Amino acid sequence: MEYKGGLDKYGLKAINSPGLGEKLGELLGLSGAVIIPANTATVRISGTTGLTKDMQMPESAMEEILLAFQNVEDTLVAAGVKDGWRAVYDLTTYHSGSLEDPEVGSALEAAFEKYCHGNKPTWAGVGVTNLYHGARIEIRVTAVLKE
């Protein structure tokens, strides 16, 4: 089922299948599929962590994950995506710890609330052994570059 949301203004259609897809979409704030019109310019952001500007990793998962989302926002804006996270339609997060860790879950929820503004990108979370500089999370996104 198509839902109306933040991606509409870019001409994208966000879809969740009836039943399970709709339930997961509401629970996790994601879309099962996004339809991208032809000739839509996009920007892909490489794996971004929560390192500070002086290359330090924050102690808490909350601070690290919020900073990782901010670092993605800063990179999107630098690449010309004026709406930052609001233009993101595809998200992959890589996690070095358990995806079931309550601290990580709370941090992701806070980050989505702060940065995604109700936008529901497609999202895959992948558990890995380790990440650059001991990070707990690395984020890769694709966004619409609206001219």
What is the tens place of the pLDDT at every residue in 102-125?
Answer: 888 899 999 999 998 878 899 999
Q: From 3.40.1390.40, 3.30.1330.40, 3.40.640.10, 3.40.190.10, which CATH number describes the 39-144 domain?
A: 3.30.1330.40
Confidence class for position 7, pLDDT limits 50, 70, 90: confident
What does the pLDDT read at residue 20? 87
> Which residue ranges make up each domain of the chain?
39-144
Q: What confidence category does residue 14 fall into, taking pLDDT thresholds of 50, 70 and 90?
A: confident
Q: Is the pLDDT of residue 75 over 80?
A: yes
Q: Are 132 and 78 contacting, i.e. CB atoms less than 8 angstroms apart? A: no
Percent of the chain whose predicted confidence (pLDDT) is above 90: 56
Query: What is d(CA 81, CA 74) in angstroms, rounded to the nearest whole number?
Result: 10
Over residues 22-26, mean pLDDT: 83
- Indicate the pTM of the whole model: 0.88
Confidence band for 94, pLDDT divided at 50, 70 and 90: very high
Residue 67's pLDDT is 97
